[in-house]
Chain A
Amino acid sequence: MSDYLVEMKQINKAFSGVKALEDVDFNLKPGEVMALLGENGAGKSTLMKILSGVINRDSGTVKVFGKEVGDLNTKEAQKMGISIIHQELNMCPDLTIAENIFLGNEIVNKGLIDRNEMNQKTREFLGRLGLEIDPEILVGDLSVSVQQLVEIAKALSFDAKVVIMDEPTSALTSAEIERLFNIIQDMKDNGCGVVYISHRLEELAHITDRVTILRDGKFVIEGEFSDFTLDRIITNMVGREITEQFPRDPGVRQDIIFSVKNLSNGKRVKDVSFDLYAGEVLGIAGLMGAGRTETTRCIFGVEHLESGDIYLEGKKLSINGPSDAIAEGIVLIPEDRKKDGLATELSINDNLALPNLDLVSNKFGVINQNKEKNLVDSAIKNFNVKLASKADNASSLSGGNQQKIVIGKWLSRESKVIIFDEPTRGIDVGSKVEIYNLINELKKQGVGVLVVSSEMPEVMGISDRIIVMCDGKVTGEYLHDEATEDKIMADATAFEIKK
């Protein structure tokens, strides 16, 4: 038996002539966590898709457990003990949690599917992640974060020797992340190898043993994690130094531009009120399921309001759907990019143009191609989207670049209030800074910015003011300088104290 669980050498892969990987080397030892890092589009997911048999390499050798393997398919890879948590959630929305977890590996008893057994096992898997939920709920009804936990539970159900986690925590809050890390520790102790891809660099220190860094499809460096500082990692990823991770321009707070009063939707939003000032960034912190996303969806008219009022510049609004909100100058950059943010089978061009067609068409609705081209090209340029052709489907982009499209499509128009729900999900350090700078720019223009974020350093770093939500209610409010992680966590878990 060799020292390595996985050895990949000189891997090449191109998509329609564009190189995604060029002579990349990668290895993984038993009992370790290897962090695979790089900017958006660096080729991390592509490399791991090759290892797990989702796509085939153009050239290069792959050894698993010391034995050379040819092109695998996903089933074969799974049989060999390689399991992957995909970056893009890959589940059937119309099947239950248990059915998704056992998809393709159903437990059969005398030729019939054993529901009880499957549900029981599912409860066990989810329980390890600290999730107590009915295994018969349809996956389509779950929030992104719970879906992500289900996806993790699924990967853990295989008893794999090699577990690949492609941004497993992008939608999770600290409590679930901690549980995940405990599970990863268990796996390490049992001699599993874990490949861990993440843009949340702060969390690496808890689990990482070694790092491999890619840039533009090429191998840059590999080494012991203890030999790296965060700055050195970033410099290797980005190819330059980043001085400030959370640039914030204090700016000048102007008048109240937007308020919500006593919003309730009969579900998770319970009597939410807050004001937003022009030229202010208001962060909303909280745990998974605190009702933050639902609040933004109520404001934007995606979900029905049972009671409560919304005011913009002192005027009471009646919003019956997103088109009304947009017409008033309120836009929402949604959390779930696959479901709400992108039409993945439409071109990048059409996705960027979609909410802005009113700006590029005449009064008969005929699109002016030049105007459209300018709008789309400048969005691509502003966000530094890495793409082969804007006529390609949005699904061909790397996860982080898809997220840039989700944001970019909304910033070509002038808005008064912009709501970001987990805006930097899956975005690399360099691009995060660009987005924060952009938020600062919006502030200067007098836009009211609302940012929902589960990343504590982010929400504390960029917000002028923070409100904390717990169990559908606002439980705390702090100015930038007053906020500490402890205070926020206390408010975010306020319901447990009350019970």
Chain B
Amino acid sequence: MSEGKTKSRFMSTKGARSVMTAFIGFVALFIIFSVLSSNFRTPANVQNLLRQIAPILIIGLGQGFVLLTGNIDLSIGSVVGMVCMTAGTLMTKGTNPLLAILLALSMGLLVGVLNGILVAKFKLPAFIGTLGTMTLARGIAQLVNNNRNTDFIGTEAQWFRDSFYYGDILKVYNAFWIGLILLTVFYFILSKTKYGRHVYAVGSNINAARLSGVKTDNIILSTYVVSSFCASMTGLMLLASAGMGTMDAGGSYEMYAVAACVIGGISTLGGSGILLGVLPGAAIWGILQNGLHFVGAPVALRNIVIGIIVILAVLLDIVRGPALSKKG
């Protein structure tokens, strides 16, 4: 009935239910793996698990922005590799780590701008446009160090490795903190600002949004920039973790990002879902990787399980939608 002041935008959407479902799913998996494996339930592994979630969480946040407008960004996995290789190469060549980070980051952002222009201005279908830049960015990842992975990035960059990955605050690794901070900031932007409403409006009905004064092209472009920023952060995180740049870093991450979003209730059709859902979405992805490893399942099986979970999440979403309105 009348929704009062207490019922916030958050609880009033269908997305909120998906976030809760995903969260409950995560807790259930956590309990199952804890029962099955004593190594899984150690504090050290829980710390590890959170850190493992971070890259997918971050890249998922960016993909979430793009999905909310009804588009998709396939290039982000390659951007991870490109940023990782670029920063890594520069560091091994003696560039100041901070400068290397900034340069690599700006290259990542450029890909985002390019995606935005292709999709928003030239009206390329998002799937095609970003498929192109996906190949392009991976090519650059291979090119920067002459088709070889980089050497160790050196002790001068130790602070970088600590701050992005190995260090911890309150026993939680920095990688996870970075993810949480980005999640909070982005969630605030999407739910509390004019810009955020415009993102949802574009995804829901781009014509109506434009006729309501929304600069739809700019909104679409900006979501691609956010997405490539998140991918770049993930790339830096992988570099910090490995201590060297690898050309195939971030392979398939664009799909893992979609998976995290969809499990968390962000519709690929645009306009509906809550960014908070990416956290349980990424967490389910991470716990399956980590937990299945501890119960001795081979990599192939992990992929199969994750695939099934994604399909179930989407089915659940579809079944819930129209069925509800038909019954009234």
Question: What residues of chain A have their CB less than 8 Å away from a CB belonging to chain B?
Answer: 13-18, 55-56, 300, 302, 321-323, 326-327, 332, 334, 339-347, 350, 353-355, 357-358, 361, 364-367, 373, 388-391, 396, 409
Contacts and interface: CB of A to CB of B under 8 A. Distances in A.
Nearest to A337: B208
10 contacts: A321-B210, A334-B211, A341-B211, A344-B204, A345-B204, A345-B205, A346-B201, A354-B212, A373-B5, A391-B7
Contacts of A367: 192-194, 197
Contacts of B207: 339-340
Contact of A343 (B9, B13, B209, B327): B209
B12 A342 contact: no
A322 B192 contact: no
B194 A357 contact: yes
Contacts of B328: 13-16, 55
B40 interface: no
A448 B113 CA distance: 41
Given A55-B328, A346-B205, A367-B193, 15 more contacts: A300-B211, A302-B210, A321-B210, A322-B213, A323-B214, A340-B211, A341-B211, A343-B208, A346-B204, A353-B197, A357-B197, A361-B194, A364-B193, A367-B194, A391-B12
A366 B193 contact: yes
A364 B192 CA distance: 11
B200 A323 contact: no
Contacts of B12: 347, 389, 391
A365 B194 contact: yes
Given A322-B212, A343-B204, A390 B3 contact: yes
A389 B3 contact: yes
Nearest to A353: B197
A345 B272 contact: yes
Contacts of B205: 339, 342-346
Nearest to B327: A56
A409 B212 contact: yes
A295 B302 CA distance: 58
B195 interface: yes
Contact of A389 (B1, B209, B272, B327): B1
Contacts of B325: 396
A350 B3 contact: no
A425 to B, nearest CB: 16
Interface in B286-328: 325-328
A301 to B, nearest CB: 9
Nearest to A357: B194
B106 to A, nearest CB: 25
A353 B208 CA distance: 13
B283 to A, nearest CB: 27
Contacts of A342: 205, 208
A346 B80 CA distance: 33
B121 interface: no
Contacts of A302: 210-211
Tell me which of A346, A353, A409 has the highest count of chain B C-beta atoms within 10 A of its own C-beta.
A346
A322 B210 contact: yes
Chain B interface size, as a band, is 20 to 34
Main secondary structure of the interface of B (DSSP, over half): helix
A56 B215 contact: no
Interface string B184-200: 00000000111101101
Interface of B: 1-3, 5, 7, 9, 12-13, 192-195, 197-198, 200-201, 204-205, 207-215, 271-272, 325-328
B209 to A, nearest CB: 7
A14 B240 CA distance: 58
Tell me which of B1, B201, B215, B328 has the highest count of chain A C-beta atoms within 10 A of its own C-beta.
B328
Contacts of A354: 197, 201, 208-209, 212, 214
Contacts of A344: 204-205
A339 B201 CA distance: 13
Contacts of B2: 389
A358 B194 CA distance: 7
Contacts of A55: 326, 328
Contacts of B213: 322-323, 326-327, 355
A350 B192 CA distance: 12
Nearest to A358: B194
Nearest to A46: B328
Contacts of B193: 361, 364-367
Contact of B201 (A15, A17, A334, A343): A343
Contacts of A323: 213-215
Contact of A346 (B194, B214, B271): B271
- The 4 A-B residue pairs whose C-beta atoms are closest, nearest first, are A343-B204, A391-B12, A343-B205, A355-B212
Contacts of A389: 1-3, 12
Nearest to A346: B204
Contacts of B210: 302, 321-322
A169 B221 CA distance: 41
Contacts of A17: 1
A346 B213 CA distance: 16
B11 to A, nearest CB: 9
A373 B214 CA distance: 20
Contact of A366 (B192, B198, B215): B192
A86 to B, nearest CB: 15
Nearest to A333: B211
Nearest to A409: B212
Contacts of A390: 3
B201 A388 contact: no
A371 to B, nearest CB: 12
Contacts of A355: 212-213
B268 to A, nearest CB: 14
A109 B200 CA distance: 45
Nearest to B191: A367
Tell me which of A322, A342, A373 has the highest count of chain B C-beta atoms within 10 A of its own C-beta.
A322
Tell me which of A323, A326, A344 has the highest count of chain B C-beta atoms within 10 A of its own C-beta.
A323
A322 B12 CA distance: 30
B271 A345 contact: yes
Nearest to A396: B325
Nearest to A391: B12
